[in-house]
Structure 1
Amino acid sequence: MKQLALGMIAYAVQRDVDAAQLCKHAGIDPEALKHKTCPPVTAQQLQDLWLNAGRLTNDPLFGLHFAESLRPAALGIVGEIIQSSATVGEALTHAAALTHLITDQCRMEVIRTHKTFTVQLIPHTDPGATPPYAFRQLIDLLLVMVIHELDGLVFEKIIPSAVRLAYAVPDVQEYERVFRCKPLKRAGEYSLVFDSRYWDEPLLTANHQLQGLLLQKVSSLAAQTGSQPATLQTRIYNYLLANSYLGVASLNDMAANFNLSPRSLQRKLREEGVKYQEIADAVRSSLALYYIASGNYPLKDISYMLGYNELSAFTRAFKRWTGSTPVTYQSL
């Protein structure tokens, strides 16, 4: 639970929460948490962390949005899965055995039929015995992590056939945006159902390596900022960069993850003298130069990785950013 706590604190900081204040409310020593020998995070501390993270960010769906941003932070676990898996089915089977690395509150089972396969979370105790808020945040977190990590492993937006939750969700529209289908209430069940066609989909191990490179790039940028509070545009830039192996997020998705309306996000950025599209273009430009310089990716693949369906559209954008075409830049 230590890694989960560290991830929650890091995401809360990205949402402009003071880490020391959050840890104080949860009864956690932030310095001790950084050391391997620190005492385990207790269930009560984790519960207090969930409650106060949601309160300080003013986001009742903190777990949902935290999971949406967790892809790079989960690389350690994904790395273990990659080493022992060749397909989505194998990855999920191995992931089920690694659930304990994230939580001791539940286990994961994968059930396969002819037409579908289901990823189901089984609580170790009666959910009623666990503080409801923390338990629901944890379920949201784990289920969204499954979807988004599969995205990264196959470089495709995987859409569940069904999402089943034992509780009524507070914001159906936002859950549907994140889960990509409308959640259904089903007593005693916490599960994702997928079409069987995904089961034998091969994993793209190179894409996992790309995630790692992007995470290193973001870490180096964070180190350069020192102890100064990051501006909103910097936090958005780093978020987009770290998660860009799945394409650059839209304004609406970014605003939702920061628990803001698109208009509010645009207004806050305007106060910093920048537009969202300018940040997104800066990320695309930086990545385009990075990918071309690496020599590992054909221009057509780079175009797709940056969210352009046509190479011609990427070429026009690249010329606008740099003054030259990708082919010309590649030959320099």
Structure 2
Amino acid sequence: MKTLSQDQFKRSLNVSTNLFGVDETDYYVRKYGISLESECSIDTRIPIHIETEFFERSAKRIGDPVFGLTWVDFSCKFADSGVIERGKVCIDVYDTVIQGCRLLPYVSESILYKLVPYDSHHSKLIAHLDESCIYHQVDAALLLWITITRDEYSQRTIEPNRRDPDFVEVHLSHSCPVGYRSKYADAYQTDLKFNQELSGIVISNQFLNSRLRVELDSIKRAVQMEIALSDIKHGKRNLADAIYRSLLAMAPYSMPTREEIANHFNMSLRTLQRKLAESNTNFKEIADKTRRDKAFELMNRDVYSVSEITHLLGYSDLSAFNKAYNRWILSNS
């Protein structure tokens, strides 16, 4: 059964309260027997059909054929802060999109995302909808992607005077409600195509490769989220995976020491070493795997020079990086 986090659903209810002036928490608590009173973490889950009912019920309440767009007007301040914080430690727009594709299913599995090539100059962020989804949900999801990404870009671009094309088309699998095309155009601020086979967003590769300023203050929050997600993924903490994901969150800016990682996980260095040894690994191996995977990812994109990658991964000079790279190639072969 596909689910969403209760925390995300509480945000939707906050939007509802702002829109209608009515708190509908009791309605959903009574109907589905869920608890929404206390603080919910991302691993507290409810079925996604509850989210679908929320959108359908809310749209009917105010007779709004484009409720998904209306919802975004009120929802940005309630958007999942953990996913946004994780994005703030990404070095370019491409990385923020890839992290969003990876992380958003933990928020809600109603829509799964994948970035694929579209043509020689563009990529497409495809939205795979669960069969229970209604069009209000995909309208809201794609508009939220565009709104937050544009906002992050405007705040964190290292070239504020550069004006790259960004989102060049939005594809929607449903038809346009009669009389509302201009509403969609005003909301998305880009070209629109309705009745498409797959919903999604066509993005300029030039925009995807745009460099972003990293907000180092967000690293701790990003690491905390990776730890929480590792708990969800494995049912209980897989320490090696959690450390690997945490290092990836920090990899382009600093490679923390074993002592710093132990502190992040609230354990002594000796305990950290013992637990990793029980999994037949150690901190040095995980750190090396992190650098290797990040190096291969950046080199495969053919956007960053070897000198830039050397600097991003914290190597002292090009010779040190080349030595590590040759070792990785030999071990892979």
Q: Which residue of 2 aligns with 1:149?
A: 148
The answer (yes or no) to whether the contact 1:159–1:194 under 8 Å persists in 2 is yes
Calculate the TM-score normalised by the size of structure 1. 0.53
Q: Which residue of 77, 80, 93 corresponds with 2:86?
A: 80
Give the alignment's Cα RMSD to 1 decimal. 3.2
Alignment size in residue pairs: 202
Instruction: Note the alpha carbon deviations across 1:244-281, whole angstroms, 9 max, x for none.
Output: xxxxxxxxxxxxxxxxxxxxxxxxxxxxxxxxxxxxxx
1:110 lines up with 2:119 in the alignment = no
Calculate the TM-score normalised by the size of structure 2. 0.53
1:49 lines up with 2:54 in the alignment = yes
1:99 & 1:16 partners in 2: Cα distance? 27
Structure 1 residue runs of 5 or longer lacking an equivalent are 213-332
The answer (yes or no) to whether the contact 1:67–1:141 under 8 Å persists in 2 is yes
1:202 lines up with 2:201 in the alignment = no
Q: Which residue of 137, 162, 168 corresponds with 2:169?
A: 162
| Structure 1 residues 68 and 208: alpha-carbon distance in aligned structure 2, compared to 1, 3 A threshold | farther
Considering only CA atoms, is the larger Rg found in Structure 1 or Structure 2?
Answer: 2
> In structure 1, what residue type is equivalent to 2:82?
G
% identical equivalent positions: 9
Measure how far apart 1:43 and its partner are: 3.3
Structure 2 residue runs of 5 or longer lacking an equivalent are 156-162, 222-333
1:66 lines up with 2:65 in the alignment = no
1:107 & 1:48 partners in 2: Cα distance? 19
Measure how far apart 1:29 and its partner are: 6.2
Q: Which residue of 2 aligns with 1:17?
A: 21
Q: Which residue of 174, 198, 201 corresponds with 1:192?
A: 201
The answer (yes or no) to whether the contact 1:27–1:45 under 8 Å persists in 2 is no
2:83 & 2:39 partners in 1: Cα distance? 19
SS at match of 2:45: coil
Instruction: Note the alpha carbon deviations across 1:184-233, whole angstroms, 9 max, x for none.
Output: 12432101112222112122445997xx9xxxxxxxxxxxxxxxxxxxxx
1:26 & 1:138 partners in 2: Cα distance? 24
| Structure 1 residues 204 and 198: alpha-carbon distance in aligned structure 2, compared to 1, 3 A threshold | same
2:210 & 2:203 partners in 1: Cα distance? 12
Measure how far apart 1:42 and its partner are: 2.5
| Structure 1 residues 196 and 148: alpha-carbon distance in aligned structure 2, compared to 1, 3 A threshold | same
Q: Which residue of 1 aligns with 2:256?
A: none
Measure how far apart 1:34 and its partner are: 3.5
1:198 & 1:169 partners in 2: Cα distance? 28
**Structural mapping, 1:1-332, within 5 Å:** 1=4, 2-20=6-24, 23-24=27-28, 27=31, 32-36=36-40, 40-74=45-79, 75-83=81-89, 85-112=90-117, 113-123=119-129, 125=130, 127=131, 130=132, 134-155=133-154, 159-170=166-177, 171-205=180-214
The answer (yes or no) to whether the contact 1:23–1:49 under 8 Å persists in 2 is no
| Structure 1 residues 202 and 68: alpha-carbon distance in aligned structure 2, compared to 1, 3 A threshold | farther
